[in-house]
Amino acid sequence: RSFTSQTDGEARVTQVLREKFPRASAIKVVDISGGCGAMYEIHIESEEFREKRTVQQHQMVNQALSEEIKSMHGLRIFTSTPK
């Protein structure tokens, strides 16, 4: 598939993250399970993460995706703050 088209799952996860992190400067969601929606890799850069430890940042993302996570097998989270 092309890099521009997202799977439904990627689009849904991206939408939820945009709502929960309105100050995010970058959100990238990739289905790394081959398109079946079982595992995602998430890269999110947001001002909301500033002054928080990595584990706290990841907890924020897990909390935001609590409903979506129920149907996943795994999640790789990469968080950062804008430089």
CATH code at 75?
A: 3.30.300.90
User: Which structural domain range is residue 33 located in?
Assistant: 8-80
Residue 19 belongs to some domain of the structure = yes
Confidence (pLDDT) at 1: 42
- Return the sign of the alpha-carbon dihedral for residues 60, 64, 69, 73: negative
| Rounded Cα–Cα distance for residues 56 and 63 (Å) | 10
Angle, nearest 10°, between helix axes 8-20 and 54-64? 120
Average pLDDT per run of 10 along the chain, which is 83 residues long?
71 95 96 89 97 97 95 94 93
Confidence (pLDDT) at 4: 57
Q: How many domains does the chain have?
A: 1
Residue 76 belongs to some domain of the structure = yes
Number of helices (H), then strands (E), in the chain: 3, 3
Confidence (pLDDT) at 37: 86
| Rounded Cα–Cα distance for residues 35 and 4 (Å) | 14
